Amino acid sequence: MAGRGFIQDKLEIKFLILYIAARVVEPVPFDTMLDLTLCDDAIDYFDFSDCLADLVRTEHLTLSEDGLYAITEKGLKNSQICETSLPYSVRLRCDKNLAECNRKLRRKSQVKARTVKRDNGTYAVALSLSDDMGSVMELELMMVREDMARQLEKRFLNAPEKLYSQIMQLLLSDLQSEH
């Protein structure tokens, strides 16, 4: 164990990892799981790595081919049983970090942009925005240069709601001026 904190041993680290895995909204990579678990000063990288590997080996967690960790039914059941043994202050800090992480994960799944090179040498930029109800907007634009396409992706990812609002305003203002 590394520094001063509330987590006392590897078993508690495993409880914490299960607590986290039970609350993330989708499977997460190693780095995200590490960041969320390092919410207590007593946890170090090596203990975390050992515990994470043990949880996969004992089938409390799964590790997908693309490196994402997810909780299993067995892990979920054990997490529910053991979560109260985690110190309250650690759970509070963990919950705060989880809320931010889940917000980012939801955002990432709702706002997408990708560029594909076409056979004719141009680029297709596909932009999509969705919410909990489904697709809000899907837009595909042709760009003549890859750097322009990447810039378009970046701008969309920074403010998709603004772009959506401006498109709607433009389309609706034309309708209003016709009446």
132 backbone dihedrals φ, ψ, rounded to 5°? -65, -20
Boundary of a domain, candidates 60, 76, 109: 109
Q: What is the mean pLDDT of residues 142-153?
A: 97
Confidence tier at 146 by pLDDT (50, 70, 90): very high
Please return the burial class of 142, using the count of CB atoms within 10 Å of its CB with bins 0-12, 13-18 and 19+.
exposed
Tokens of 70: 């997810």
**How many domains are contained in the chain?**
2
What's the CA gap between 94 and 156, in Å, rounded? 31
Report yes or no on 81 lying in a domain: yes
Q: Are residues 28 and 99 in the same domain?
A: yes
* 4 part of a folded domain: no
Is 89 in the same domain as 153? no
Q: CA-to-CA distance for 113 and 18, rounded, in angstroms?
A: 32
Supply the pTM of this predicted model.
Answer: 0.77
pLDDT tens digit string along 14-61? 999 999 999 999 999 999 999 999 988 889 999 999 999 999 999 999
Q: Which domain holds residue 39?
A: 10-109
Q: Are 69 and 101 in the same domain?
A: yes
* Residue with tokens 């994402």, as numbered in its chain: 68
Question: What count of other Cβ atoms lies within 10 Å of the Cβ of residue 94?
Answer: 19
Q: Do residue 23 and residue 70 come from a single domain?
A: yes
Residues 77 and 44 in one domain: yes
Residues 92 and 128 in one domain: no
Same domain? 88 vs 147: no
Q: In this predicted model, what pLDDT tens digit does every residue of 117-136 receive, in sequence order?
A: 999 999 999 999 999 899 99
> Residue 71's Cα: distance from chain center in Å?
15
Domain assignment present for residue 2? The answer is: no
Can you tell me the distance from the alpha carbon of 77 to that of 99, in angstroms, rounded to the nearest whole number?
A: 22
Residue at which a domain ends, from 81, 109, 137: 109
Q: Is residue 142, in this structure, part of any structural domain at all? A: yes
